[in-house]
Structure 1
Amino acid sequence: MARYFTPRMIGAHLVALACVGVAGSLGVWQYDAWQANRAAEAVDLSELEPRPIADVMGPDDPFPAAFVGQPVTVSGTWLPESTVYVSGREVDGADGFWAVTPLAVGSAADDPALPVVRGWVADPADAPAPPTGTAEVVTWLQPPEGTGQADDDPTDDVLPQMRTADLIQQVDQDLYGAYGVVDADEPSTNAGAEGLTPATLEQLPPPGRLTALRNILYAFEWWVFGAFAAFIWWRFVREEEVPHEVPAEADPVPSEA
């Protein structure tokens, strides 16, 4: 029994325990993320009472999966020079664009900004001038899109999706890890939606399943790694149980007289 508690074996036990523990914990974390994504898709929060955005997420926080579609109130300063138009949005079968202007959330124009979908337009050339000054709007909170579609012309103000990596190229400050869609039925101050068709969540592209699928696959990957570490530890212990035979010392060769 003592051979299982030699310094060499204790080190092996600790390494195996650490590997299995870390792999198991990371697997559970990915599994919880998968469940959170599934739960968020199953819940419609858009009819709830608006909450201040600070109660839901901060500018440096990852998107809270449990708050997809949550109405939030946002106050700040418009950044009209950073207005972009997101293609591929349909209204009554007509293809068009979302007019998106970042809103610096806070009292200063250089505070982190939330991209705000002000409304829909068939052609960006027909869009009204973006708003200026301060505003207080109610928006439906949405996670950034990530379909992988490439921006064919990064130099213009038309984007193929609401992806943070594309939006940040148009803004000189930090962005929230989210965007908002103005709720036209809620009272807002200087919402910048005049001359635009109201944007709705029905204009969103079909939700992708890749993120949730990736989470569950990562969970299984970590658990397999933990099981493999446990197997290696078991093999190591089994080999220690086998007695090591000491080779018999060879008989000396008799010298010739």
Structure 2
Amino acid sequence: MGSLLLVLVLVTCFVGLSAWQVDRAQHKNDAVDAADVEEIEPFNEVMEAQAPMPGILADQRVSLSGHWLPDNQVVVPGRVLDGDKGYWVVTMFAPDGARLGAPAGADADDKTIAIPVLRGFTTDEQTAMESRAAEGPVEMKAQIGPVEGPKPGNSLPEGQVRTVSTSQLINLFPDLLTYSGFLIPESASGAAASIATDGLAYVPPTTTREEGGFDLQSAGYAIEWLIFAVMALYMWWQLLRDDFVRRRLGSDSDTQDPASPVEYVVVKSAGRSSIDPEVMSGLTGLPAHRHGAKKPRSRRGRSADGADSTNTTPTEGN
């Protein structure tokens, strides 16, 4: 009964863990459904400068107004659009009413808050380097993209970087405060819109968020916990069955069953360091000398007609 109670506790834990993994497998859909990224939100309500960007904000559509900082611009080589390899042109954009998410020090009032914006794509390096945004008010609808990790770009020309990394942009533009994300415009209006202009092609927003669906990894873990529960029950049943069989056959008694006698064969006498060759001969059927005994000697003679003969008994004279 004690072992049964232990097994029941283990099975309950295993089934509970399996249910937890099933819940995690479904949580992937719940998280995607909870983040309504298709609804356009005011930029300043979802993003704060100098603060980490929650992953749930990836691909969020936002609306904002502000102006370009034309001199604060970088070119990102190695990008692909419609199968053509070329360059991104990323220009810093100062949103109206921007907010700081964390204290930035006493000199924060002297700095401009800006976010990187992907203005367009071109296959020509000179066009990318010479393109500039116009000055003036801009209204924009865009999608938030997560910033990329920094990569060394010492071999690149001045003004080019390998990734859209805010840590690198801060070093390039020390007079700016920025965000943990960048914007991919959907549309822009105003005289200074500057999206897909000046020789640049429009870059459509892409989805970086994981799609919904059943999490197969968590589902696999759930099945494993159920297998552990079945194994615990099976092991308990086997132990119970073996104990029942032993009691049924009386194998737990100290007496030997007379119906099943055990035969013993002594092959070496006590005190001897080797097995008796005669005993080994009886066990194997081979001659004793094959097991170390002395080979019997025979006497040979020659008969009167010259043939060899063997005498096995002694002869006596007349």
Q: How would you bin the TM-score normalised by the shorter chain?
A: 0.5 to 0.7
Identity of aligned residues (%): 10
The within-5 A match list for 1:1-257 is 4=4, 6=5, 8-32=6-30, 51-56=41-46, 60-64=53-57, 67=60, 70-74=61-65, 81=72, 83-87=73-77, 88=79, 96-101=87-92, 103=94, 105-106=98-99, 108=109, 114-118=115-119, 122=124, 123-128=127-132, 137-144=139-146, 153=153, 156=156, 157-159=159-161, 162=164, 166-171=165-170, 175-181=179-185, 183-185=187-189, 187=190, 193=194, 196-197=197-198, 202-204=202-204, 207=206, 211-212=210-211, 216=213, 219-242=215-238, 243=240, 244-245=242-243, 248-251=252-255
Displacement, 1:17?
A: 3.5
TM-score, with structure 1 as normaliser: 0.59
Q: What one-letter code is carried by the residue in structure 2 that aligns with 1:116?
A: V
Task: Measure the CA separation in 2 of the matches of 1:230 and 1:194.
Answer: 56
C-alpha distance in 2, partners of 1:178/1:195?
A: 17
Deviations 1:99-144 (A, max 9, x none): 322547337566875322345665233133897xx97642311433
C-alpha distance in structure 2 between counterparts of 1:227 and 1:249, whole Å: 43
Q: What is the CA–CA distance in structure 2 between the aligned matches of 1:145 and 1:211, rounded to whole Å?
A: 16
Q: CA deviation at 1:183?
A: 3.2
State the TM-score, normalized to the length of structure 2: 0.50
Q: CA RMSD for the aligned pairs? A: 4.9
Unmatched 5+ stretches in structure 2: 101-108, 172-176, 257-318
Instruction: Give the Cα separation in 2 of the matches to 1:198 and 1:33.
Output: 40
Task: Count how many residue pairs are aligned between Structure 1 and Structure 2.
Answer: 223
Greater fraction of residues in helix? 1
Q: Which runs of 5+ in 1 are unaligned?
A: 253-257
Task: Please name the residue that 1:255 is paired with.
Answer: none
Tell me if the contact between 1:98 and 1:118 (Cα under 8 Å) persists in the aligned partners: yes
Question: SS of 1:181's equivalent?
Answer: strand
Between the aligned partners of 2:137 and 2:110, the Cα distance in structure 1 is 12
Pair member with larger Rg = 2
Name the amino acid aligned to 2:117.
V
The 1:139–1:197 alpha-carbon spacing in structure 2 relative to 1, beyond 3 Å, is farther
Cα separation, partners in 2 of 1:168 and 1:229, compared to 1, 3 Å: same
Q: Deviations over 1:210-237 (max 9, x none)?
A: 954xx758x1111011011111111202
Matched residues in 1 for 2:230 and 2:195: separation?
69
